Amino acid sequence: MQISIVGYGNTLRGDDGVGQKIAQIIESWNLPDVRSLALHQLTPELAEELARVDLAVFVDAYPAQNNTERVKVAEIAPGGDRVNSPSLGHTGDPRWILGLAQTLYGSCPEAWWILVPGWDFNFGDRLCENCDRAATEAIHIIETLLRDREDNSCTKSV
């Protein structure tokens, strides 16, 4: 099973860079069949990559409204609106990119969107303490997704 982890956001805007930081951590694990991409934003060129994988996990920040905000996890399908992305105006909603992969290449993967709460989007290259804790939670969620896929692929091959 081929897997892409796509973390995106602006690493120079505090918590907005959490997606990239998570992607970099996962890349350091050197997992077989897992490609981790740390991107400033989603662009149409990503559609080709997505058409070749079985699972895609997108990771981005969202503006928290209070200190009790948690990581949001949603299974997503092709569709969405490139212009009206809920994630701080990044170019390209993951659902739109999935739709582009389906349209251009006739294939798109199972996909999940992990949204990590952020509190500080001012200029800076560090995550605030709350976002750092939420990033740890997001990493555990991604580990579970990867482990579940590994367990399922082992079951299917028996």
Q: pLDDT tens, 100-155?
A: 999 999 999 999 999 999 999 999 999 999 999 999 999 999 999 999 987 776 54
Q: Does domain 3-156 have CATH number 3.40.50.1450?
A: yes
Q: Is the pTM of this model over 0.95?
A: no
The beta strand positions in 64-103, using DSSP E, are: 72-76
Site of tokens 């709350």: 130
Q: Which residue has the higher pLDDT, 84 or 124?
A: 124
* Among candidate residues 51, 45, 53, the one with its CA nearest the CA of residue 8: 45
